[in-house]
């Protein structure tokens, strides 16, 4: 089957929501919270990478589905914890998990204070992410029943836990550390390194897994696997840069999460670091006054967007996106010209021009 992105979104959602793993959770609110993000609309970018890169080398992509689902739920647990760290209220068009749990608790326990409900929401959301991380490992083991060799399943598990998890967690930690350091201390290289760890590594791993499944190989160090990983990493960086732009310039109903949340949290995105270095003293002072300030007015956000545009920071980010996309396109040309490569080419265009 030549899966398109919508078909993969539905396939992964069905795989997760019908997996018997969740039956082990006997506490209703915890169980429901674990399933909440998987049940919502997802871009399914990483699962699509697994399935499409597998199809580059072998049209029978059945063995890749459980691994694709594993990577999706692995990504989801990082979102749950990221929302706790950033105190975000929304995700995927609905309430963030800690808010979802807090509201459920307030409805269930009538005498519960808002303060205790909030604490309860954070506590359970941490456990939601912990369970989802274990679920990802279990799904990779399940892939053996679909024909994946035990040796390859073990190597994928090892790579996920030995490299991807530590790198991704380090990227998240660097992202948090940057918020407490002066923005003047940040450079485009330091931001790029953080993004590569936090976002690029999982994109790379997704493509590497698909290639290994298609090639029926367990060697992450072959030229083909490295190149497809480099392709995905560049696409992932373009995706993250686009996300940063949409976080300021998008529409909340389309994006599914708050606009300007990065600004209010004081995030050191490539966009903001670039702007801080380009703005004149007066505009820079206003920008720094707003950076990290909660509950900004619509007028303040609009003015910051104007400053970002006039400073040339938005244009620089757009140029960076195109540079990563062109690199990814050049790498992709080295692979078999088949229907799955066409899907990956379409996916690159989607990253470039997406509005959510």
pLDDT digits (tens, 9 = 90+) for 156-179: 999 999 999 999 999 999 999 999
Looking at residue 156, its pLDDT comes to 98
DSSP 100: H
Neighbours of 329 (CB within 10 A): 16
pLDDT of residue 259: 79
CA distance 142 to 310: 52
pLDDT at res. 252: 64
Looking at the DSSP bridge assignments, the partners of residue 90 are: 95
Mutual orientation of helices 270-278 and 188-195 as an angle, nearest 10°?
Answer: 170
State the distance between the two ends of the chain, measured CA to CA, in whole angstroms: 27
| pLDDT tens, residue by residue, 41-74 | 889 999 999 999 999 999 889 999 999 999 999 9
Distance from C-alpha of 52 to C-alpha of 209, rounded to nearest angstrom: 11
Run means of pLDDT, 10 residues per run, the chain, 356 residues: 91 97 97 97 94 93 96 98 92 93 95 96 98 98 96 98 98 96 93 96 98 96 97 96 90 68 93 94 95 93 94 95 97 95 94 80
Burial of 28-57, coded b for 16+ CB within 10 Å and e otherwise, reads: ebbbbbbbbbbeeebbbbbbbbbbbbbbbb
**Which ranges constitute the DSSP H helices of the chain?**
5-17, 28-39, 45-57, 65-86, 97-108, 114-142, 150-159, 165-179, 188-195, 201-215, 223-249, 252-255, 261-265, 270-278, 281-290, 298-311, 313-332, 339-353
* CATH of the domain spanning 5-353, picked from 1.10.3720.10, 1.10.600.10, 3.40.640.10, 3.30.70.600: 1.10.600.10
Helices 313-332 and 223-249: crossing angle in degrees, nearest 10, is: 150
Closest CA to 203 of 43, 323, 7, 9: 43
63/110 Cα distance (integer angstroms)? 48
């Amino acid at each position: 089957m030549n899966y398109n992105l919508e078909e993969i979104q539905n396939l992964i959602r069905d795989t997760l929501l019908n997996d018997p793993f969740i039956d082990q959770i006997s506490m209703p609110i915890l169980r429901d919270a674990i399933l909440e993000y998987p049940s919502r609309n997802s871009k399914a970018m990483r699962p699509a990478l697994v399935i499409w890169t597998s199809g580059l080398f072998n049209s029978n992509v059945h063995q890749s589905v459980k691994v694709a689902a594993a990577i999706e739920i692995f990504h989801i647990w990082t979102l749950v914890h990221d929302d706790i760290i950033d105190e975000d209220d929304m995700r995927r068009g609905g309430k963030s998990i800690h808010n979802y749990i807090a509201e459920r608790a307030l409805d269930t326990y009538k005498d519960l204070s808002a303060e205790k409900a909030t604490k309860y929401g954070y506590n359970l959301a941490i456990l939601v992410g912990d369970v989802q991380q274990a679920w990802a490992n279990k799904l990779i083991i399940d892939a053996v029943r679909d024909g994946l060799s035990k040796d390859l399943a073990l190597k994928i598990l090892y790579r996920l836990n030995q490299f991807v998890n530590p790198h991704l967690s380090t990227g998240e930690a660097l992202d948090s550390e940057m918020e407490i350091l002066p923005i003047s201390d940040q450079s485009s290289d330091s931001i790029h390194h953080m993004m590569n760890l936090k976002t690029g590594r999982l994109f790379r791993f997704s493509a590497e897994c698909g290639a290994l499944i298609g090639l029926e190989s367990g060697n992450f160090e072959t030229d083909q696997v490295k190149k497809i990983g480099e392709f995905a990493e560049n696409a992932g960086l373009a995706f993250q840069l686009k996300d940063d732009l949409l976080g300021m310039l998008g529409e909340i109903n389309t994006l599914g999460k708050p606009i300007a949340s990065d600004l209010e949290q004081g995030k050191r995105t490539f966009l903001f670091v670039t702007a801080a270095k380009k703005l004149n003293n007066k505009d820079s002072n206003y920008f720094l006054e707003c950076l990290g300030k909660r509950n900004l007015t619509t007028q303040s956000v609009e003015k910051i967007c104007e400053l970002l545009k006039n400073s040339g920071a938005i244009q620089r980010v757009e140029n960076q996106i195109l540079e990563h996309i062109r690199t990814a396109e050049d790498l992709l040309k080295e692979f078999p010209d088949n229907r799955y490569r066409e899907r990956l080419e379409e996916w690159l265009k989607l990253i470039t021009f997406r509005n959510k």
